[in-house]
Structure 1
Amino acid sequence: MSRILFALTPITGHVRPALPLVRALADAGHDVVVYTGTKFAPAVAAAGATVAPVVHGRDLDDATLDDWAREHGAPEPGVKRLQWDVTQHFLGPVPGYLQDLEAVVAQGRPDVVVLDTTSVAGALLARRHDLPSVQVTVTPLPVSSRDTAPFGTGLQPPRTGLQALRYRVLDAVIKRVVFRDAQRAALRLVDEVGVPRPDGFFMDWMPTFATRVLHLSVPSMEYPRSDLPGNVEIVGAVLPHGVDLFEPPAWWGDVVAARAAGRPVVLVTQGTVATDPERLLFPAIEALSDGEALVVVTTGTAEPQDVLPHPADHVRAARFVPFEHLLPMVDVMVTNGGFGGVQQALAAGVPLVVAGRTEDKAEVGARVAWSGVGVAMETDPTTDATTSRAVADGVRRVLDNPSFARRAREVAQEYAGYDAVARVVEVVEELAGTSAGSEAVAA
């Protein structure tokens, strides 16, 4: 039996994909400890792991991130907000998280540290203690490459030499100007931790810190790179099948009837972070108000009656419906581009209409368009809101052009060819065995 430590950023889209991994490792007899936010403690315990509490770190409910940002003086969306988000959310909480993780290690040295894409504290902990680590990605692959545009811009790979040159210039501006202060802050953080300074841009450090990077996606949804680091492996998506109980909502029969009658069913979802309904939910409901489609809305962090006190006749709403049951009934999913939800849709063969640019969503939308499984729409640069006309055009385009559904079904077959949970467990156990062997030799 090995001791496995998960260090997870307390955001729903980062924790939920890890729960099947936690369960699989616990079921295999390993001692699994998970450090993440209090909100997720019941789910972690239900997965069979020990919960390591947040004591000194920032224990923030991700549903209140926007409120927290406003209360702490966040600028309006734009370059300054991007700079603020990186320093406040990516780098700012690291010392507190790291202090907590050190206490966990003091109680029992782990054989392997498993961390998500943004768990800087987990990466630094593993580096400080010379522990093998596995990074499981919960975003599009954030690895810089000469074959791609700078990550976060939402630009597809260059098609010409001139475009590639422009991307290199843009990359230099982003790293040397936009994030100059963040780079300095990241270097100070590394110095304080007492580990050697890594080379290059701080946003590229995470993959280099990890022993192995297991990308939770499929090749069709990731740009090819001729310079991909050797420690990166695409392993398929971790889908939360069987994680949630399914109690059909009162209107479930309407969905079944629509499906049987050939009436389009459109799912509209905004995930758990960027949840302002003015951005996407309300425009989508208005866009589909002709009643031709049955619109299913998931409100995520709020009760449906609080968001839609008087829903239109063509709308059915619930706070949450397990996607494994809902998506097989859906013709198109309209989303702001959360990585996990998009992958669940594609694993079910559902084409997409994506409208969102915050967090990693611009990159998700770009990959949706690039792979041919849906369309990506522009949003307001200040509010990140779309328009009803844009949604209507996007849904009509996907419904009228069968190539999107055909391509989504092809990608679904690709997802079905992977067993991400089994592969992650295999890699973790391999590293744990190596780590335990090294400890024994040292002793």
Structure 2
Amino acid sequence: MGARVLFAATPAWGHVYPVLAGLAELRRRGHRVRCLASRSFAPEVGGVVDVVGYDSPMDGAGAELSDMAGVLPLMLAEARAAHAALDRAVREERPDVVVADVLSMAGWLLGRAHDLPVVRTWPVFASNAEFSLHQDYGSRSDTDESMARFFADATGFLDEIGLSAEVSPEQLFDNAADRDIVLFPRALQPKGETFGPRFTFITPCIRPAERSPELAWLRRSKPLAVVSLGTVFNENLGFFRTCVGGVRRLGWHCAAALGDKVAPHEVGPVSERVLLRARLPMLDALAHASAAVSHGGLTSTIEALAQGVPVLVAPQIGEQRAVADSVERLGLGVRLREPFTAGDLADLLQRVAHDAGLAERLRAFRHELRRGRSGGEFADAVEVVLDGTTEGEG
């Protein structure tokens, strides 16, 4: 008989997509798998596993995420809503293990409250005593004042759920799980050699292609540059105009994911060589791309590299600068340094398109990303905890 697995998700596509194949594999193996999912995520998650529904204050959040003064209260509101839904789910059917996204405070708290083992997933670079996105890349912009307000409010939340005596507000940011699953190969991780046996680095769970209505256009559009700023920090109209202009100089085709803050008409008049969408069928697009120009989100970067597509990274925030550094360290793409012009972009696209050494490194790394069983290594790592054979701290 299978075990009961409860996944505490964070409402962000870059955190949900990398685990879906792993959750599906756990279900295929006979386990009962439930996943927290808010309104925007429930339809897609529900096609894979059972949904624990809730109203997330982060569902559709955009501008609030660009300022830590707004992020901290939003994170606490999310923790409250998620914990309430997860707590109900545990009382209805006690899981054998909680698997929690690294940003899910509620998932870790749930384990403490109900004495359940917790497996943490890292779709972003992992942290240990030797490496921290916060310390090494300034990925957080909090101030003493904003943190003091957060800790005061968090104390009230912990008291509400009966954990204030055993959990400090500081532990919401600094705590350890029973096991950590890093959702990409160790080679990508900064200081990857310093992470011990508690951390399992796996072959990524690459989601299947969308088989979208745009597929016919994408197939005939060669060479093709795919452009995206992700789903959060994507309001930079100048970035899209420059990228479309740079691609046009080469006579290439361009497919751009604009997000919900930039309208296609704002980018300007475009030819039939340009496809502008709020949300691009990214896997379909990358399967036919010659290059990807992006913000450097780790999930989207891995999806490009898994197709053997070189990446040109224009980082917007600290963790994306870390991605750009890893891409350059491994020789799998280049960094776009602001401000750049359409001419600068065209030159870089030409360079990566004709770099034989880069092409060979991409082929080798694509094999590394594709060599495992999709979702199998993720399921294996969860089952280690289910079997009670968790290794020591890393």
- TM-score normalised to the size of structure 1? 0.76
Matches within 5 A, 1:60-71: 60-61=59-60, 64-66=61-63, 69=64
Equivalent residue, structure 2, for 1:281: 240
Cα deviation 1:34-64 (Å, max 9, x = unaligned)? 11211111112211x2221215x52622xx4
Any gaps of 5 or more consecutive residues in structure 1?
156-169, 259-263, 381-385, 436-443
1:93 matches 2:78: yes
| SS in structure 2 of the partner of residue 5 of structure 1 | strand
1:356 matches 2:315: yes
Q: 2:256 aligns with which of 297, 302, 324?
A: 297
Cα deviation 1:293-312 (Å, max 9, x = unaligned)? 22222335589755657323
* AA matched with 1:121: A
Matches within 5 A, 1:323-402: 323-358=282-317, 360-379=319-338, 387-402=341-356
Equivalent residue, structure 2, for 1:33: 34
| SS in structure 1 of the partner of residue 62 of structure 2 | helix
8 Å CA contact retained: 1:112, 1:432: yes
* AA matched with 2:258: T
Matches within 5 A, 1:110-121: 110-121=95-106
* AA matched with 1:37: S
| SS in structure 1 of the partner of residue 73 of structure 2 | helix
* AA matched with 1:378: R
Equivalent residue, structure 2, for 1:235: 202
1:151 matches 2:133: yes
Cα deviation 1:84-116 (Å, max 9, x = unaligned)? 254134344212221221111111111111111
Q: 1:406 aligns with which of 352, 360, 376?
A: 360
8 Å CA contact retained: 1:183, 1:202: no
Cα deviation 1:299-353 (Å, max 9, x = unaligned)? 3558975565732354233455544443232221101112111001111111110
Equivalent residue, structure 1, for 2:220: 254
8 Å CA contact retained: 1:154, 1:362: no
Give the Å deviation of 1:355: 0.6
Matches within 5 A, 1:34-49: 34-47=35-48, 49=49
Equivalent residue, structure 2, for 1:196: 166
- Ranked by relative contact order (alpha carbons within 8 Å, sequence separation 6 or more), the top structure is 2
Matches within 5 A, 1:159-238: 181=148, 184-185=151-152, 188=155, 191-192=158-159, 193-194=163-164, 196-197=166-167, 203-205=173-175, 208=176, 210-225=177-192, 227-238=194-205
Count of aligned pairs: 385
* AA matched with 1:53: G
- Relative to structure 1, is the Cα distance of residues 277 and 86 closer, same or farther in structure 2, using a 3 angstrom cutoff? closer
- Relative to structure 1, is the Cα distance of residues 111 and 409 closer, same or farther in structure 2, using a 3 angstrom cutoff? same
* AA matched with 1:218: P
* AA matched with 1:368: V
* AA matched with 2:101: D
| SS in structure 1 of the partner of residue 249 of structure 2 | coil
d(CA) in 1 for partners of 2:94 and 2:238?
A: 45
d(CA) in 1 for partners of 2:128 and 2:70?
A: 20
8 Å CA contact retained: 1:38, 1:59: no
- Relative to structure 1, is the Cα distance of residues 397 and 174 closer, same or farther in structure 2, using a 3 angstrom cutoff? same
